[in-house]
Structures are given as structure tokens and as C-alpha cells.
């Protein structure tokens, strides 16, 4: 099996790029952020404060989170309900960043993520894939871009969906999430040893996909 780990900060284009690269290579693409988002959504829906560790721990022990693939698209099931759309809401993003700092949440989700790499060739994206989840991945990429460019891309995405958004607020949230994800004690966001850093600030989507596919082919032949 071939495993490709793509880590990097929020909005660097990991999911769009990894999805296209996996289509070209015939790999399964797993977006691990979605499962942290599912835990955050469960906290929001049940009015559980993320600061209340006992309640969060009690909650996760009863959660059934599953990733399924339907027509090539990843769907996330939370206790049998498809929450793929709801986990993308803005309030879930920040809650996911906070909930992902809890070590019990991270260890609860570890096997779920590792199981994918046992069954298929995967491109898995997240924050700690190359460092913790798949430390033996054959290819490790750290994908990044400037905060301003990441915020601009997010704004465009939201505008395309007809959602009104404010650039400064998006930029503020991105910087805040970078801080949370980089400074947490457990599995912080950082480039894995022997990872290749790809900065997409000045790249188009196609250029970034071409670069990633090129690296994967080079490293796995």
C-alpha cells in the first residue's frame, strides 16, 4: 500500500488539491479534518462546552463516526446521519480546532484514520498525518500558503456559494486557527521530518496539483 500524508494550515488548499491528485492517481482521498469537525458538531448539537473535558470525553465514547465513499465523494456519518454539509459551517471550523486540542479526542480518532491506510492506497490530509497518524507514509508533503492568500481563496469559495463574508473576519479566524493548531501540546501542526514543503501562494490550482502529483510519482517509483 502507498500512503501519502499531506499536512498544512487551514485553507492551504489541501483538500481541493489532494482530491484532484487522488483522482489522477486512483488513490482514495481521506479528509481527516472532517472527523474533528464531526466531533465539534456533536458538541454544538448537544450544547456541550468544549472546555468541559469530562462531558466531551463522555460524549465521544458514545459517538459512532464513519467515513463512507459515495460516487467517489467522502461522506461523514455521525451516528448514522450524513453531516457532510453541516460540518462545513463556519462555527464548526473554530470549534473543530478547539476540540482537536483535546488528547482524548485525538486518540479516539487515531485508529479510524489508520484503518484507511491498511486497506487502500491513500492520500490523507490533516495536521498530524505525517508526524503521528502515518509516520511511515512513503510521501510526506507540507502544503502551505500565506494567510492573506488563504483568506482570499476562502472568501471566493464562500462568494461562489452565494454566502456573504468579510475578508478581515476570515483572515482573523485563519490566523487564530493556525495559532491553535500549531501551539497545542498534542500532535501540533508542524512539518514532518523528511517532508517536502510546497508553498502554493503563487501557484494556480492546476500548478499545485501538478506539483503534488509529480512529487508522489517521483517518490513512489
Interacting positions 89-118 with ligand DC (CB under 6 A): 96-97, 100
Question: Is there binding between residue 128 and ligand DC (CB under 6 A)?
Answer: yes
Q: Is the dihedral of CA 204, 144, 177, 58 positive or negative?
A: positive
**Closest CB to ligand DC among residues 183, 214:** 183
Piece of 75-83, 114-122, 123-131, 168-176 that binds ligand DC (CB under 6 A): 123-131
Question: Is there binding between residue 173 and ligand DC (CB under 6 A)?
Answer: no
Residues in contact with ligand DC, total (CB under 6 A)? 14
Among 10, 76, 117, 171, binds ligand DC (CB under 6 A): 10
Residue 141 backbone zone (phi > 0: left; psi -120 to 50: alpha; other: beta):
beta
**Closest CB to ligand DC among residues 95, 209:** 95
β-strand pairing of 28-31 with 122-126: parallel
Among 5, 12, 13, 127, binds ligand DC (CB under 6 A): 127
**Closest CB to ligand DC among residues 146, 218:** 146
Interacting positions 14-53 with ligand DC (CB under 6 A): 32-33, 36-37
Question: Is there binding between residue 211 and ligand DC (CB under 6 A)?
Answer: no
**Closest CB to ligand DC among residues 33, 147:** 33
| CB-based contact 20:207 (threshold 8 Å) | no
Residue 79 backbone zone (phi > 0: left; psi -120 to 50: alpha; other: beta):
left
**Closest CB to ligand DC among residues 41, 209:** 41
**Closest CB to ligand DC among residues 7, 211:** 7
CA distance 7 to 137: 12
Binding site for ligand DC (CB under 6 A): 10, 32-33, 36-37, 96-97, 100, 126-129, 177, 181
Amino acid at each position: 500500500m502507498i500512503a501519502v500524508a499531506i499536512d498544512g494550515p487551514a485553507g492551504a488548499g489541501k483538500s481541493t488539491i489532494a482530491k484532484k491528485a487522488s483522482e489522477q492517481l486512483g488513490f482514495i482521498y481521506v479528509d481527516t479534518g472532517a472527523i474533528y469537525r464531526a466531533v465539534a458538531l456533536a458538541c454544538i448539537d448537544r450544547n456541550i462546552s468544549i472546555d468541559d473535558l469530562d462531558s466531551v470525553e463522555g460524549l465521544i465514547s458514545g459517538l459512532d463516526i464513519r467515513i463512507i465513499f459515495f460516487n467517489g465523494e467522502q461522506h461523514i456519518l455521525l451516528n448514522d446521519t450524513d453531516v457532510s454539509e453541516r460540518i462545513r459551517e463556519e462555527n464548526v471550523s473554530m470549534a473543530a480546532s478547539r476540540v482537536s486540542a483535546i488528547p482524548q479526542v485525538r486518540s479516539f480518532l487515531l485508529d479510524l484514520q489508520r484503518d484507511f491506510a491498511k486497506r487502500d492506497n491513500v492520500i490523507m490530509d490533516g495536521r498530524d498525518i505525517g508526524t503521528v497518524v502515518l509516520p511511515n507514509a512513503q510521501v510526506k508533503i507540507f502544503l502551505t500558503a500565506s494567510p492573506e492568500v488563504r483568506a482570499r481563496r476562502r472568501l471566493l469559495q464562500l462568494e461562489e456559494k452565494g454566502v456573504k463574508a468579510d475578508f478581515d473576519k476570515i483572515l482573523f479566524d485563519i490566523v487564530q486557527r493556525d495559532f491553535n493548531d500549531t501551539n497545542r501540546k498534542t500532535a501540533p501542526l508542524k512539518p514532518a521530518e523528511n517532508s517536502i514543503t510546497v508553498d502554493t501562494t503563487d501557484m494556480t490550482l492546476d500548478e499545485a496539483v501538478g506539483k503534488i502529483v509529480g512529487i508522489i510519482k517521483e517518490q513512489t517509483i
